[in-house]
């Protein structure tokens, strides 16, 4: 069976001495405790997983000779301060790297990354991508607004990193046909969604799938998240979610999203 590559998705990491901005319990579900995060990273390291960037992933996809076997991508959305303060030193300690998708309007704000922290992370092998300008959901915008979000966030990140920014993760994981069409016409090369699953040469480069790691994932569950049965389960959850989204509309859906997760994901 062809090896398919997992892209893990984290948001905020927390510890007692690194508080975060999440005040309500529902959004706390996305905040992973630092000791859990470290044991997950240690597991990947001890089991010889090699982390690659999204950029390297696309190079592997193009090159038939190279195998993706044993490779994994770690990604973070939003640009939280904890990504630098807590996650970054752990990644360095275990010799792993990650891709950080940054919402540029939040840069240098309380609880978020600064430009200097991003530069330091890049200097240590981390990859930076865009997570939009405002974190407003693209399907709620007109095409001019989407275009501005795509190009402006890219421009800001390129001026900080002095590197081309080729990849984006959709805020809230939300996209529609207009967004995908505009990305195809842009300088971007790929996009991460919140669709659950693994990636292969056949995966749409504008809809890379990810596996979201939430607070409630135990060490034992983490070890099993890459097996095909779990993936089939995630895909079923996605179908349920998109059906719900179509039925009740995006706004209402976003409000109850955390509840859906609570019941469907990792609570088998
Ligand atoms: Zn986000």
User: How much is the pLDDT for 232?
Assistant: 64
* CA of 67 relative to ligand 1 center, distance in Å: 31
Max Cα separation, the chain? 48
User: How much is the pLDDT for 99?
Assistant: 98
User: How much is the pLDDT for 231?
Assistant: 62
* CA of 174 relative to ligand 1 center, distance in Å: 10
Q: What are the DSSP calls for 12-65, one per residue?
A: EEEBTTB--S--SHHHHTTEEEHHHHHHHHHHHHHTT-EE--HHHHHHHHH-TT
pLDDT digits (tens, 9 = 90+) for 177-234: 999 999 999 999 999 999 988 898 889 999 999 999 998 888 888 888 766 666 666 6
- Tokens 């330091």 belong to which residue? 120
Tokens of 212: 């979201």
* CA of 131 relative to ligand 1 center, distance in Å: 7
User: How much is the pLDDT for 62?
Assistant: 85
Determine the Cα–Cα distance for residues 143 and 146; give it in Å rounded to an integer.
Answer: 5
pLDDT at 120 over 80: yes
Instruction: Tell me the domains of the chain and their CATH numbers.
Output: 7-218 (3.20.20.370)
pLDDT digits (tens, 9 = 90+) for 121-163: 999 999 999 999 999 999 999 999 999 999 999 999 999 999 9
* CA of 135 relative to ligand 1 center, distance in Å: 6
Let me know: does 32 contact 213? Beta carbons within 8 Å: yes
User: How much is the pLDDT for 208?
Assistant: 97
* CA of 161 relative to ligand 1 center, distance in Å: 20
The SS3 of residue 189 is coil
* CA of 143 relative to ligand 1 center, distance in Å: 20
Residues whose CB is under 5 A from ligand 1 (ion)?
77-78
Q: Give mean pLDDT, residues 10-39.
A: 82
Determine the Cα–Cα distance for residues 120 and 185; give it in Å rounded to an integer.
Answer: 31
* CA of 65 relative to ligand 1 center, distance in Å: 35
pLDDT digits (tens, 9 = 90+) for 234-257: 666 666 766 666 676 666 666 666
* CA of 64 relative to ligand 1 center, distance in Å: 33
pLDDT at 264 over 70: no
User: How much is the pLDDT for 263?
Assistant: 47
* CA of 163 relative to ligand 1 center, distance in Å: 22
- Helix (H) or strand (E) holding 74, with range, is strand 71-78
Determine the Cα–Cα distance for residues 136 and 264; give it in Å rounded to an integer.
Answer: 25
Q: Which is it for strands 31-33 and 12-14: parallel, antiparallel or unpaired?
A: parallel
* CA of 78 relative to ligand 1 center, distance in Å: 5
Determine the Cα–Cα distance for residues 205 and 59; give it in Å rounded to an integer.
Answer: 12
pTM: 0.86
Average predicted confidence (pLDDT) for the chain? 87
């Amino acid at each position: 069976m062809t090896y398919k590559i997992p892209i893990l998705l984290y948001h905020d990491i927390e510890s007692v001495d690194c508080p975060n901005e999440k005040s309500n319990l529902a959004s706390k579900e996305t905040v992973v405790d630092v000791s859990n995060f470290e044991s997950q990273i240690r597991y990947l390291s001890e089991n010889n997983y090699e982390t690659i960037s999204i950029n390297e992933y696309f190079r592997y996809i193009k090159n038939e000779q190279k195998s993706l076997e044993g490779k994994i991508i770690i990604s973070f959305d939003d640009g939280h301060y904890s990504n630098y303060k807590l996650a970054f030193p752990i990644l360095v300690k275990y010799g792993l790297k990650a891709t950080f998708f940054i919402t540029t309007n939040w840069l240098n704000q309380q609880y978020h990354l600064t430009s200097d922290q991003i530069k330091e992370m890049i200097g240590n092998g981390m990859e930076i991508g865009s997570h939009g300008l405002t974190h407003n959901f693209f399907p709620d915008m007109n095409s001019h607004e989407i275009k501005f979000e795509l190009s402006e966030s890219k421009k800001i990140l390129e001026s900080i990193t002095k590197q081309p920014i080729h990849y984006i993760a959709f805020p809230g994981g939300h996209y529609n046909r207009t967004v995908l069409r505009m990305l195809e016409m842009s300088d971007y090369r790929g996009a991460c969604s919140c669709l659950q699953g693994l990636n292969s040469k056949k995966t749409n480069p504008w809809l890379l799938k990810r596996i979201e790691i939430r607070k409630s994932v135990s060490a034992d569950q983490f070890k099993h998240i890459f097996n095909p049965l779990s993936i089939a389960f995630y895909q079923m959850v996605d179908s349920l979610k998109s059906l719900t989204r179509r039925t009740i509309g995006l706004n209402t859906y976003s409000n109850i999203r955390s509840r859906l997760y609570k019941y469907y994901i990792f609570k088998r």
